[in-house]
C-alpha cells in the first residue's frame, strides 16, 4: 500500500532537513544541530522508509550504506580528459611559470591566481544530471577511468543531490578523495585489532578504500571529498573566474577547500605558499603542495595545454618532510642476492602523519660517509611513498663518544661469512641459497607480478613455507599439495585450491618473464626481455659465453659475467631443470641472431598503424634485421613505413623525397607473408 500523503510529506521534509544539515556540516563547516539531534532525524526517516518502502528514493540520505559486492568496475570514458599538473619545486620555477604566462598572453600586468592546497589522495569525477548524482568515476589514465558510483555514494561529503535549483542540466564536478590524519589513525587502529590490512599512509588508505568491490566496506571508511574544479557543463552558464566557479560549486552544496584564496599576483602566491608550508601540520590532513590556477577562465583558454597538463596551472610542491629522532641501533637485512642493507632502528617518530621506526641507511659506505653513530640524533626524511631514509646525523647534538655501526662478520640469518667483493660497495652473505633469507627473497621475487605472477603467493606465505621447511627452492613450490597448504595458519581449503590453480596457470609464461624470475643479479625486466629476444631459446642463453652475451643490446661486461656465473652453478642448472620438468613453458620466439641482417645500415621511421603489428613489434622486427628505427624523418631516413592514418611524417618524407612504403612493402622488408 502506498504511503499516505502526510507521511510522504514528512519524509520529504526530513530529507530536506538532513541534506541541509549535511551541507552545513561538510561544506560550510558550521553545524547548527548536535550529532544526537541529527541522528534522531535520521532514525525517524529510516523508520518511515522501513514502514513504507515505496517512500525510499535513491538520493535519500539513508541510502549511503553501500550495496552487495560487484564483480568488477565498468570502464568510463571521460568526456573531457582528466589532466595532470606540471610541478614547480622552488620560487625560481614559480617565477618562470608566471613569466611564461605573461609572454604567452602578451601582457605586462600582474596575473591573478586562485590557490588551494594540493590534496594527497586520488582524483574523482562526479556527474550530476538534473541535480542528481548519476555517476562517479576514478581518473584512471585520464581518458578512461572506473565507474565507482556505488562507492562514492557512501561518502557523506558527496551530495546525492545538489542544493537549490540553479544547477546546470549536466555538471561534472572534479575533486580529490582523501583521508584526514585522524580518520587514517582510527582506521589503522581498527584494522590492527581485527587483523586486517594496515595502510602505510593516508593516500594508500584512501585509494584502497575507494576502490573496493564491496561498497559496504567503503561506507565504513573515513573518506572525504573536496572539489577543485569542473569538467563537463551543459545547459548552464559558469562564472568566468576560477575562484567564482569554486564559490558557485559551494553554493550547490559541493565541499571546496577552506584554504582557497584569490591572489592578485605571483608575489602573493609565494607568500601564500610560505603560510601554507608553516601551517600544514595544523590542517589535519596531508598536503604535498599548493596548486595555483590562472583565475581568468578566458585567459586559461588562451594559454591552452601542453601534452597532459594545462599551461595555466601549476603544483608548487613542498619539500620532502624531515624530522629529527634518535638512532637506537643498526640491524642488517639480507636481500635476494645476499647484499646486507643496514636498517636504522629509530625512536618512533611521526613524519607527515605516519609513524616511522625504521629507515634505510642504504649501505655501509653511506654510513661511513655521513659519519652516523649509534645513539646520534638523526634527520629522517620521508618523501611521498618512498621508504624513509636517514639523511644525516645532527653532529652538534652528539654527546659523549658514540659507537660507529660495524658490518657483521657473519650473516645474521645463516651465519655464513660476510664478504665484500673488490670494487663493490655492498657486503654480501656468502651463503647463497643455503641462506634462508636469500631463499625467501628469491622465491618472493620468482612469484612476483612481473616475474611468474603467482597470485596468492605473497611475501608472508613464502616466509611461512620456508620457515616450515615445506619449500627450499623455487622449484619446490610446484610440489606443494592441497593437504600441506590447507594445513597452514589462516589458509582455508578454498584459498589453498586457488593457490594451486594459480601455480598451474603460472606455468604458461614467456621466456622473458622466466629469465627475469630466476633472479640473476642485475638482470631486470628490460634486460631479461633483451636476452629472451636475442637468444630466443633457454639452452642457447645458458650456454652463451661472456662475449656472446655482450652482443645483446645493453648487456655490458658485469651483467654478462653475472649471467655466466649464474648458469655455471650446478645447483642453478638443477633448479631450472626441475622447473621445466614441472611443465613451465612459453611460446617460441623468433631469435634475433637467426634473422639475416638484410637491413644493415638502413634507417626507418614508422607512421600510422600497421595491421597485425604494434608499433613496438614492427620496430623490433626491423631492428632484428639490422635496421635502425627513428622517431623523426630526415634526409638520412631510408624509408617511412606508412600504415593506416599516418601522421605528418609522411608529408615530411614527401617533402624530402624519402621513399614511402606501405604494409605490403613492410612485410617484404621483414621477409614475412
Q: Which residues bind ligand IVH (CB under 6 A)?
A: 83-85, 116, 118-119, 123, 139, 176, 228-229, 291, 310, 313, 315
From the CB of 315, what's the least distance to ligand IVH, in Å? 6
CA dist., res. 472 & res. 439, Å (int): 7
For residues 342 and 363, is the Cβ–Cβ distance under 8 A?
Answer: yes
Name the active-site residue from 118, 293, 440, 649: 118
From the CB of 120, what's the least distance to ligand IVH, in Å? 7
From the CB of 304, what's the least distance to ligand IVH, in Å? 12
Q: Which SS3 state, helix, strand or coil, does residue 505 take?
A: helix
CA dist., res. 170 & res. 147, Å (int): 17
The verdict on whether 460 is a catalytic residue reads no
Question: Which H helix or E strand runs over 125?
Answer: strand 122-129
β-strand partners of 630: 605
CA dist., res. 402 & res. 382, Å (int): 25
- 547 to each of 477, 527, 554, 555, 566, how far by Cα in Å? 34, 16, 13, 10, 16
CA dist., res. 586 & res. 511, Å (int): 6
Q: Write the CB contacts of 599 (distance below 8 Å, at least 6 apart in sequence).
A: 622, 625, 626, 627, 669
From the CB of 186, what's the least distance to ligand IVH, in Å? 23
Q: Which is nearer to ligand IVH, 116 or 533 (CB)?
A: 116
Q: Which is nearer to ligand IVH, 83 or 378 (CB)?
A: 83
For residues 187 and 353, is the Cβ–Cβ distance under 8 A?
Answer: no
CA dist., res. 525 & res. 117, Å (int): 38
From the CB of 118, what's the least distance to ligand IVH, in Å? 4
From the CB of 288, what's the least distance to ligand IVH, in Å? 8
Q: Which is nearer to ligand IVH, 290 or 480 (CB)?
A: 290
From the CB of 119, what's the least distance to ligand IVH, in Å? 4
Query: For residue 177, which of 231, 220, 131, 222 has the smallest C-alpha distance?
Result: 222
E strand residue ranges, 394-439: 418-420, 427-429
Query: For residue 509, which of 590, 588, 586, 589 has the smallest C-alpha distance?
Result: 586
Backbone angles phi, psi at 43, to 5 degrees: -65, -35
Q: Which is nearer to ligand IVH, 141 or 501 (CB)?
A: 141
Neighbouring CB atoms inside 10 A of 610's CB total 19
What crossing angle do the helices spanning 511-518 and 570-581 adopt, rounded to 10°?
140
Q: Which is nearer to ligand IVH, 123 or 351 (CB)?
A: 123
Q: Which is nearer to ligand IVH, 176 or 180 (CB)?
A: 176
E strand residue ranges, 485-619: 603-607
Q: Which is nearer to ligand IVH, 21 or 118 (CB)?
A: 118
CA dist., res. 571 & res. 580, Å (int): 14
Q: Which residue is nearest to ligand IVH (CB)?
A: 123
Q: Which residues does the annotation mark as catalytic?
A: 118
Amino acid at each position: 500500500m502506498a504511503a499516505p500523503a502526510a507521511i510522504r510529506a514528512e519524509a520529504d521534509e526530513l530529507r530536506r532537513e538532513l541534506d541541509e544539515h549535511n551541507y552545513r556540516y561538510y561544506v560550510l563547516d558550521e553545524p547548527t544541530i548536535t550529532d544526537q539531534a541529527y541522528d534522531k532525524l535520521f532514525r525517524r526517516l529510516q523508520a518511515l522508509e522501513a514502514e513504507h518502502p515505496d517512500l525510499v528514493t535513491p538520493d535519500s540520505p539513508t541510502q549511503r550504506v553501500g550495496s552487495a559486492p560487484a564483480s568488477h568496475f565498468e570502464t568510463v570514458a571521460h568526456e573531457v580528459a582528466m589532466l595532470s599538473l606540471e610541478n614547480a619545486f622552488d620560487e625560481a620555477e614559480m617565477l618562470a611559470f608566471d613569466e611564461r604566462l605573461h609572454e604567452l598572453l602578451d601582457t605586462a600586468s600582474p596575473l591573478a591566481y586562485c590557490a588551494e592546497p594540493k590534496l594527497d589522495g586520488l582524483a574523482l569525477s562526479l556527474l550530476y544530471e538534473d541535480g542528481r548524482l548519476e555517476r562517479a568515476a576514478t581518473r584512471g589514465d585520464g581518458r578512461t577511468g572506473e565507474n565507482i558510483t556505488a562507492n562514492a555514494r557512501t561518502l557523506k561529503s558527496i551530495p546525492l543531490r545538489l542544493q537549490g535549483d540553479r544547477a546546470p542540466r549536466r555538471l561534472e564536478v572534479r575533486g580529490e578523495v582523501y583521508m584526514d590524519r585522524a580518520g587514517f589513525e582510527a582506521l589503522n587502529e581498527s584494522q590492527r585489532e581485527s587483523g586486517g590490512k594496515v595502510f602505510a599512509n593516508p593516500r594508500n588508505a584512501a585509494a584502497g578504500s575507494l576502490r573496493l568491490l564491496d561498497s559496504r566496506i567503503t561506507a565504513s571508511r573515513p573518506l572525504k571529498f573536496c572539489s577543485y574544479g569542473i569538467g563537463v557543463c551543459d545547459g548552464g552558464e559558469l562564472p568566468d573566474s576560477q575562484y567564482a566557479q569554486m564559490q558557485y560549486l559551494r553554493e550547490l552544496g559541493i565541499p571546496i577547500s577552506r584554504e582557497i584564496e584569490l591572489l592578485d599576483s605571483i608575489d602573493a602566491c609565494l607568500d601564500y605558499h610560505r603560510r601554507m608550508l608553516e601551517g600544514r601540520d595544523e590542517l589535519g590532513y596531508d598536503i604535498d603542495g599548493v596548486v595555483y590556477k590562472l583565475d581568468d577562465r578566458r585567459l586559461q583558454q588562451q594559454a591552452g595545454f601542453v601534452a597532459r597538463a594545462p599551461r595555466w596551472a601549476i603544483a608548487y610542491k613542498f619539500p620532502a618532510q624531515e624530522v629529527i629522532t634518535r638512532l637506537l641501533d643498526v640491524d642488517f637485512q639480507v636481500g635476494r642476492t645476499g647484499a646486507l642493507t643496514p636498517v636504522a632502528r629509530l625512536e618512533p617518530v611521526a613524519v607527515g602523519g605516519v609513524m616511522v621506526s625504521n629507515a634505510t641507511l642504504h649501505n655501509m659506505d653511506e654510513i661511513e660517509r655521513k659519519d652516523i653513530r649509534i645513539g646520534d640524533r638523526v634527520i629522517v626524511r620521508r618523501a611521498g611513498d618512498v621508504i624513509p631514509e636517514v639523511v644525516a646525523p645532527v653532529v652538534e647534538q652528539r654527546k659523549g663518544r658514540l659507537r660507529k655501526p660495524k658490518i657483521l662478520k657473519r650473516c645474521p640469518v645463516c651465519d655464513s661469512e660476510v664478504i665484500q667483493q673488490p670494487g663493490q660497495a655492498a657486503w654480501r652473505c656468502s651463503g647463497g641459497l643455503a641462506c634462508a633469507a636469500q631463499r625467501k627473497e628469491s622465491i618472493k621475487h620468482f612469484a612476483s607480478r612481473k616475474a611468474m605472477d603467482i597470485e596468492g603467493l605473497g611475501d608472508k606465505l613464502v616466509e611461512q613455507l620456508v620457515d616450515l621447511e615445506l619449500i627450499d627452492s623455487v622449484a619446490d613450490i610446484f610440489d606443494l599439495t592441497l593437504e600441506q597448504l590447507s594445513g597452514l595458519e589462516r589458509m582455508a581449503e578454498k584459498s589453498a585450491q586457488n593457490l594451486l590453480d594459480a601455480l598451474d596457470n603460472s606455468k604458461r609464461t614467456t621466456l622473458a618473464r622466466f629469465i627475469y624470475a630466476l633472479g640473476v643479479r642485475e638482470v631486470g625486466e628490460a634486460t631479461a626481455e633483451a636476452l629472451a629476444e636475442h637468444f630466443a631459446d633457454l639452452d642457447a642463453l645458458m650456454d652463451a659465453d661472456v662475449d656472446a652475451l655482450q652482443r645483446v643490446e645493453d648487456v655490458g661486461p658485469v651483467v654478462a659475467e653475472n649471467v655466466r656465473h649464474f648458469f655455471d652453478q650446478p645447483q642453478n642448472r638443477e633448479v631450472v631443470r626441475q622447473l621445466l620438468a614441472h611443465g613451465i613453458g612459453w611460446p617460441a620466439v623468433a631469435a634475433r641472431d637467426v634473422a639475416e641482417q638484410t637491413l644493415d645500415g638502413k634507417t626507418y621511421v614508422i607512421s600510422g598503424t600497421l595491421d597485425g603489428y604494434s608499433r613496438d613489434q614492427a620496430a623490433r622486427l626491423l631492428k632484428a634485421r639490422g635496421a635502425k628505427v627513428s622517431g623523426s624523418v630526415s634526409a638520412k631516413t631510408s624509408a617511412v613505413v606508412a600504415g593506416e592514418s599516418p601522421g605528418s611524417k609522411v608529408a615530411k618524407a614527401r617533402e624530402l623525397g624519402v621513399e614511402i612504403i606501405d604494409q605490403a612493402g613492410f612485410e617484404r622488408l621483414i621477409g614475412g607473408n
